[in-house]
């Protein structure tokens, strides 16, 4: 009987925000990317429906929020590179996190594993938690929800 080895992934997509379990998801993703020799893409989505109408109308506010998020994602990229992942890219987009990742990012980047955290937070930082079930159900690739 042949040895049962787990599927090796070639391109791992990890969703991050600034919640504690996003860090758990990120830690799992970099370990898995290292053991599989996989490419890693770190994604974060600026959720505009969490902003009030004045914030959403303000280009300066959106730009500020987006540049904060981009800086945050670049910190994750540095950590992944320090950990020894050779091929690390980042994506910051705007919209509904679950839909944007499932309908835009996955088809564009063609990863074979999506890693996300599960905590649903209220307010501006609830990003991925409430979206985890949506992504697990609708993504065309394997999804790992880290708790």
pLDDT, tens only, 25-41 = 999 999 999 999 999 99
Strand order across the 113-117 sheet: 88-94, 39-46, 11-15, 113-117, 142-146
Whether 128 maps to a domain, the answer reads no
Question: The domain that contains 113 carries what CATH number?
Answer: 3.40.50.620
Whether 113 maps to a domain, the answer reads yes
95: left (phi over 0), alpha (psi -120 to 50) or beta: left
Whether 49 maps to a domain, the answer reads yes
pLDDT in tens, 87-106: 999 999 998 889 999 999 99
Full domain range(s) for residue 26: 20-122+140-146
- The single-letter DSSP state of residue 142 is E
Q: In which element (H, E) is residue 90 found?
A: strand 88-94
Whether 62 maps to a domain, the answer reads yes
Whether 130 maps to a domain, the answer reads no
For the stretch 50-58, contacts whose Cβ atoms lie closer than 8 Å and that sit 24 or more positions apart, written own/partner, are 50/123, 50/124, 50/126, 51/124
Q: In terms of pTM, does the model score above 0.85?
A: yes
Whether 133 maps to a domain, the answer reads no
Whether 132 maps to a domain, the answer reads no
The DSSP bridge pattern shows strands 113-117 and 11-15 to be parallel
Backbone φ and ψ for 93, nearest 5 degrees, come out as: -135, 175
Contact 144, 117 (CB under 8 A): no
pLDDT of residue 26: 95
Whether 129 maps to a domain, the answer reads no
| Overall domain count for the chain | 1
């Amino acid at each position: 009987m042949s040895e049962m080895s787990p599927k090796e992934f070639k391109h791992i997509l990890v969703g991050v925000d600034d919640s504690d379990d996003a860090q758990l998801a990120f830690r799992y993703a970099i370990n898995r990317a290292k053991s599989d020799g996989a490419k890693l893409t770190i994604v974060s989505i600026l959720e505009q429906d969490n902003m009030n109408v004045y914030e959403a109308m303000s280009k300066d506010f959106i730009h500020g929020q987006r540049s904060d998020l981009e800086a945050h994602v670049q910190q994750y990229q540095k950590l992944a590179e320090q950990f020894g992942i050779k091929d690390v890219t980042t994506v910051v987009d705007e919209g509904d996190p679950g839909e944007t990742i499932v309908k835009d990012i996955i088809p564009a980047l063609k990863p074979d594993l999506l890693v996300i955290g599960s905590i649903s937070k209220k307010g501006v930082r609830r990003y991925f938690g409430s979206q985890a079930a949506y992504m697990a159900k609708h993504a065309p690739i394997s999804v790992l929800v880290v708790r």
